Amino acid sequence: MTPADYGCKCEGCPFAKNGVAKDFVLPEGPRSPAGVVFADIPTFDDARLGVPMAANSQVGREWDKTLMQAGLTREQLLIVPVTACKRPHATKEAQVSKAIKACAPMRAAAVALAPATPHIVLGKYAWEGLTGSNKGSDAQRGFVKDNRTVTFRPEMAYFWAPHEWASFDIDVRRFGRMIRGELEPAPKITLVSASGQIAGIYLRAKKEGWVAFDIETMPANYEEPWTGKDPTRAQLRTLSFGWEDEGFSFFWKDTATHGQEMVRDLLADRKIVKVGINIVWFDLRVLARYGLKVTPFDDCRDKRRAISSTSRLSLAYLATQYTDAPPWKAEKDEESEDGTK
């Protein structure tokens, strides 16, 4: 078969030669795959060998090792390149987008073989092939949504940005758990409406000896929206407490005085470790303005920095390192320049 047999629009495609696909790569895998891999633009080795992420190429060898560590094999998966042909030298981004659109029929035909199968998206071009936009893949990286997870393109993780290799490995392992139905269940989230529920949170925190917490804030006034991220001016909106299996959230100003007093006691209880992220720079400073002292506390961000000096440190990013949580923030809120939540 050729790309044209799949319905690819080779005429006028910037990756084709005079309207004809040369040295092309087609989807490869079983007719009933365990999972689908939306791969990057074929490399020179892929095009030379005619196989996506070819096993005897430099990238392919590393890919097979990563799959093995995730409990998977190449033979289980349908690998679908975002374009059939490799990218010519000096090709502009607009031309890449045009080539991706030209190969849409090929991707659609491959996906039709396994429409409900878990899939993993490798990089921004593969993401563009699915969504029509090459923006947003980094914000979705590591999360599971609609039976899909997103990660980096393999060349980036293996060779260009090796500090991201660990994250890439984690993402592929998560893909393996998706296929096997082994994802961690999402915690139950409860919106607290009564002081009695806060008492229950306090009792469990005493029993466990620790509790995770977080706050959400809002601007001091909506003419200055930036003040919502300024700990000296941000207004406390919600408080949340939780553990691995459940979480509780409530609006501070709507909480009765008795409930607020229990929160004050919980945060100051020296027998309960309060665990958060970036709390020294932000949360503790906001809470102090409301007369809420937090002690003792543990900031996960400091521990992560001790483990990896090159890691990103936002809550959203670290959630993808240690949990199977679904995305809960809009892309624009994923990570700010100073690393705040």
What would the pLDDT profile of 158-214 be if each residue is shown by its tens digit? 888 888 888 999 999 999 999 999 999 888 999 998 889 999 999 999 999 999 999
Q: How many CB atoms lie within 10 A of CB 75?
A: 10
Give Cα 80 to chain centroid, integer Å. 21
Concatenating the DSSP letter of every residue in 164-227 gives: GHHHHHHHHHHHHHHHHT-PPPPPEEEE--SHHHHHHHHHHHHHHSEEEEEEEEE-SSTTSGGG
Per residue in 126-146, pLDDT tens? 999 999 987 888 888 999 988
- Residue 310 has a pLDDT of 66
Is residue 336 predicted with pLDDT exceeding 60? no
Sheet containing 246-251: give its strands across. 188-191, 246-251, 235-242, 210-218, 273-276, 297-299
For the cut 70, the answer to whether the pLDDT of residue 87 exceeds it is yes
pLDDT at 279 over 70: yes
The per-residue pLDDT for range 91-107, each reduced to its tens digit, is 899 999 999 999 999 99
Angle (deg, nearest 10), helices 165-180 and 315-322: 50
Cα–Cα distance for residue pair 241/203, rounded to 1 Å: 12
> How many C-beta atoms lie closer than 10 Å to residue 308's C-beta?
13
Domain ranges across the chain: 3-180, 188-330
Query: Maximum distance among all alpha carbons in the chain?
Result: 76
Q: 1.10.357.10, 3.40.470.10, 3.40.50.300, 3.40.50.2000: which CATH number matches 3-180?
A: 3.40.470.10
Q: Is pLDDT at 315 greater than 90 in this prediction?
A: no
Higher pLDDT, residue 90 or 231 = 231
Going by pLDDT thresholds of 50, 70 and 90, the confidence category of residue 330 is: very low
pLDDT at 341: 52
pLDDT of the residue at 33: 95
pLDDT tens digits, 24-69: 999 999 989 999 999 999 999 999 999 999 888 888 999 999 999 9
**DSSP-based three-state secondary structure for 99:** helix
CATH 3.20.20.80 fits 188-330, yes or no: no
76 has pLDDT over 90: yes
Residue-level pLDDT at 337: 32
The fraction of the chain above a pLDDT of 90, given in percent, is 65
